Amino acid sequence: RSTQSRSSAASDVYKRQVRIVTSQKWWYAASVSEEQARSIREGSTVTIRFPNLENTVQAVVQELRREEETGNFLVILQGDTILPYLLESRVQASEILVQTYTGLKVPKEAIRFNEEGQMGVYAVLMGKMYFRAVGQIYESDSFIISSTSYESADGSPTLKLYDTIILGGVGLYDQKPVS
């Protein structure tokens, strides 16, 4: 009877998941849309952000191939930074960052052009609206990102962090009173 109990305990130990790490290298596969795949190149380095991890992880794109059944693309990444979080499970949610931009996010509906054709927004300051130039460094369907260090060619004021911008309206002009 004691032999049977030992053998049962031993088989319970073997049922647990065990991982043996023999290298710093690891691979991560993800399915991405065709649109997302256009910005990914084999051999390029991308950043992976895992939702439960503070730090990001760098990886190299090893392969990018079309999945015939879905029309999506399979991207295979290789990294060499081992973090305990990455070893905890076989399936991890993530964001693959191909490029990052730092600046001021401006909704497209706020974008205006002044008489000189310069792109900018109207910002409210002390009860009046003022044109503030923006230096676009990225554009999406719904917003642009403006550089925080942009200086307009003519020296006119530029958009700054915490400026209150006007999203819509007609008949907007510099120094128009705002109620």
Distance, in Å, from the CA atom of 147 to the CA atom of 137, rounded to the nearest integer, reads 6
The residue type of 4 is Q
Model confidence at 3, pLDDT cuts 50, 70, 90, reads very low
Which amino acid belongs to residue 64? Answer: L
- pLDDT of 30-81, one tens digit each? 898 888 888 889 999 999 888 877 888 899 999 999 998 888 999 999 988 8
CA distance 123 to 167: 9
- CA-based torsion, 100, 103, 104, 106: positive or negative: negative
Tokens linked to 87: 């070893």
Instruction: Tell me which DSSP letter residue 108 carries.
Output: G
Average pLDDT over residues 142-149: 93
Name the band, by pLDDT with cuts 50, 70 and 90, for residue 4.
Answer: very low
Distance from C-alpha of 47 to C-alpha of 56, rounded to nearest angstrom: 6
If you average pLDDT over residues 148-172, what whole number do you get?
90
Nearest to 169 by CA among 124, 109, 80: 109
